[in-house]
Structure 1
Amino acid sequence: MTLDALPGFALPLVAAITAGGLIGFEREWRGRAAGLRTHILVALASALLMEAAVVQGLWRFMPLPGAEIVSDPTRMAHGVLTGIGFLCAGVIFRSGFSIHGLTTAASLWITAAIGLAFGAGLYGLGGVATALTVLVLVGLRLVSARLPQTSTVDAEIVWRRDAPDAESRIRAALEPLARRRGADHHGLCANGSRVVLRLRLIKVGPEETDVLARQLRDIAGVTSFELDPRDD
């Protein structure tokens, strides 16, 4: 490859940086673990590797005399998407029995795919994919903001086993709230002196969560509780 060919090679990289920046800005604005720089680097690396695979004939190696080289850029795409899975796994974490970071992991995955598209010279496909990704991340969040503010809340409540009326008062506080019955988990801790209840509340608004928290604080015998709304 000569220096004269650099402008042609730079365009896919610039497009990938722009796409990664647009997607990463939304994640950075939301305060996620993988933000602007991470998404830009993912898109840039994907485009760079794919572009190198597309022009494999320009690599500095000497084939054997009479040998015919068949280039398959899709193998590079498979390798990039496999490798990005390890990076995506790093932004997914578990809090209690809630899983967070799935949307950020998905945004990294689509950013890698967009970078591959630009690296292969598919500018139209990469541009449309970038616009759709930003629309999903930003537009759908604006839509959800206009909907009733309800969410799924993962709750964990711990109380003393010998506390009188603690369990009945806790269940009375939970009674008005809808929950997924199959997700209830019962257990003991602290050598059997504490009772643990984990459950999943559904279609719960912020006001209802605040009311439940106040009620739990006022119940004698409750040693700890955690109300964890799902927000990816």
Structure 2
Amino acid sequence: MDFGIGIFAMLDFLDPEWIFVPRLLLAALLGAVVGFEREYFGKAAGLRTFSLVSLGACLFTVLSLAGFQEIAAQTGAVIDPSRIAAQVVVGIGFLGAGLIIFRGFRVEGLTTAAGLWVSSAIGMSVGVGMYLLAAVTSILMVIIFFFLKRIEPEEHDGHRDHAL
């Protein structure tokens, strides 16, 4: 599997870790694009949170793919890169749970929590080199956050009542 990105893959004199820097930058940028809408509307998680979640998910994914290859080669150990990725999903679940608030029969923060979950998937997509998938997902998230909010009913002060 080639972990390089464009010209960075051809620059042999650079430390091999440098080929992952553009992935980290792209993941942070895509997270920021999505987080901007949340920030603009004053949600609990915004620009920085979405950027950090996407960046962290990308870093964990890169580490799981490339970070342990040398150890595997030296020891002959079989490495399963999906184990770290699976734990990213669990960790994001804890963050998301902290955003969801129950006030009486109202649930708040559910959309932002779901957005963080998808933002982590964007970071993971960038981490494995699926840039188009990550970019399209980011665009779809902005559409869902910004435009679909405009067509939802505005009853209950913007919150829906749910029977618990």
TM-score normalised by length of structure 2 = 0.80
* Sequence identity percentage: 39
Compare CA radii of gyration and give the structure with the larger one: 1
**34, 37, 41: which one aligns with 1:30:** 41
Aligned residues: 147
| Shift in Å, 1:32 | 0.7
Question: Which residue of structure 2 aligns with residue 124 of structure 1?
Answer: 132
The one of 20, 27, 31 aligned to 1:20: 31
Say which SS state the counterpart of residue 94 (structure 1) adopts.
strand
Match of 2:79 in 1: 71
SS of equivalent residue, structure 1 residue 86: helix
Structure 2 residue corresponding to 1:133, chosen from 136, 141, 150: 141
1:92 is matched with which residue? 100
**Normalising by the residue count of structure 1, what TM-score does the alignment of the two structures yield?**
0.58
Could you list the per-position Cα deviations for residues 129-148 of structure 1 after superposition, in whole angstroms to 9, with x for gaps in the alignment? Answer: 11111111112224x17xxx
Structure 1 residue ranges without an equivalent (≥5): 154-227
Where does 1:174-213 land on structure 2 (aligned, <5 Å)?
Answer: none
- Opposite residue 70 of structure 1, the aligned amino acid is V
Deviations 1:72-94 (A, max 9, x none): 22211110001110000111101
Does residue 1:57 correspond to 2:69, yes or no? yes
Deviations 1:136-178 (A, max 9, x none): 1112224x17xxx542x3xxxxxxxxxxxxxxxxxxxxxxxxx
Report if the CA contact (8 A) 2:72-2:78 is conserved: no
- Pick the structure with more strand per residue: 1
Q: Secondary structure at the match of 1:99?
A: strand
Cα root mean square deviation, aligned: 2.2
1: distance between equivalents of 2:127 and 2:120? Answer: 10
Local SS of the residue matching 2:15: helix
Uncovered stretches (5+) of structure 2, i.e. residues with no partner: 1-12
- Equivalent residue number for residue 230 of structure 1: 159
Taking CA–CA contacts closer than 8 Å with sequence separation of 6 or more, which of the two structures ends up with the larger relative contact order?
2
Distance 2:45 2:154 in 1: 26
State the secondary structure of the residue aligned to 2:98. Answer: helix
For 1:84, give the aligned amino acid: I
Mapped partners of 2:109, 2:154: distance in 1: 19
Cα 1:139/1:121, change in 2 over 3 Å? same
Aligned with 1:115 (options 112, 123, 145): 123
Q: How far 1:22 sits from its partner (Å)?
A: 0.6
Q: What is the deviation of 1:60?
A: 9.3
Contact 2:71-2:77 within 8 A present in 1 as well: no
Which amino acid is the alignment partner of residue 100 of structure 1?
E
Against the structure 1 CA distance between its residues 34 and 59, is the aligned structure 2 distance closer, same or farther, given a 3 Å change threshold? Answer: farther
**CA deviation map 1:196-221 (0-9, x unaligned):** xxxxxxxxxxxxxxxxxxxxxxxxxx
